[in-house]
Structure 1
């Protein structure tokens, strides 16, 4: 597999959002373009991309909130799943956070997404004994 990992640029926005849509990660109440732009505009976040022969095949958004690292939008092109792209991206995300001194990495997975939960468990991620609470501050 000739996969290379690189930081996204503004020019990658539409292709990356298209990948997120193809992977089923977007939701009507979240603006993925705004998420992408904010990640690139902030020094403690980025979007890492996986390319194979200049074709976008994966992405992960990663950021440090000052206390812990977070992962969002881990996506692999549907025709490239099961080939190690997600593992490679998660390793790159972990390395990126380590360079910022992050002591911990966390992510959220929808409770009914058994495939994603199994993927992360295979990478050593464990269910945390916390409850996530939320409140919308803007109308959807």
Structure 2
């Protein structure tokens, strides 16, 4: 089997429906987050860090990056279950790392659900290390 190359490009508004379907297929959505609102919020801030991976024009992967002037952040890294184990997630991570480095970003942070051991191993393989921190959050605007 020949693996097809992943084409990486910025998000286009016409991608929204396919991307949200991909996020659902990958188990990334949660009842308390409205993915349409997440897309709209991202488009208002650093939309160039919202990356889409395609194979033959079909969306198979996404990554939403950000930089707050102190740390870079990764959200919504998703690869279609039918397209996994082809280094597409690694390609998206390398692409956003290049963009963040060009912005002067010294470090990338990300959050992993504690039960998602396979994803932790993936990030370990990219050189990420677990920080001695406690993640805390406070919702300011309810989505639902």
TM class by smaller structure: over 0.9
- In the alignment, what sits opposite 2:49? 46
1:42-81 mapped onto 2 (5 Å cutoff) = 42-43=45-46, 46-81=49-84
- In the alignment, what sits opposite 2:106? 103
1:89-128 mapped onto 2 (5 Å cutoff) = 89-128=92-131
Contact 1:61/1:71 (<8 A) preserved: yes
Q: TM-score, normalised by structure 2?
A: 0.91
SS in 2 for 1:128: coil
Contact 1:39/1:45 (<8 A) preserved: no
Q: Distance in 2 between matches of 1:124 and 1:53?
A: 30
The one of the two structures with greater contact order (alpha-carbon pairs below 8 A, sep at least 6) is 2
Contact 1:58/1:75 (<8 A) preserved: yes
- In the alignment, what sits opposite 1:29? 32
Q: Distance in 2 between matches of 1:127 and 1:28?
A: 27
Q: How far 1:93 sits from its partner (Å)?
A: 1.2
1:13-28 mapped onto 2 (5 Å cutoff) = 13-28=16-31
Q: Deviations over 1:50-83 (max 9, x none)?
A: 1111011100000111211000000000001111
Q: How far 1:113 sits from its partner (Å)?
A: 0.5
Q: Deviations over 1:2-51 (max 9, x none)?
A: 21100001111111111111100000101111111111221376310111
SS in 1 for 2:49: strand
- In the alignment, what sits opposite 1:2? 5
Q: How many residues align?
A: 140
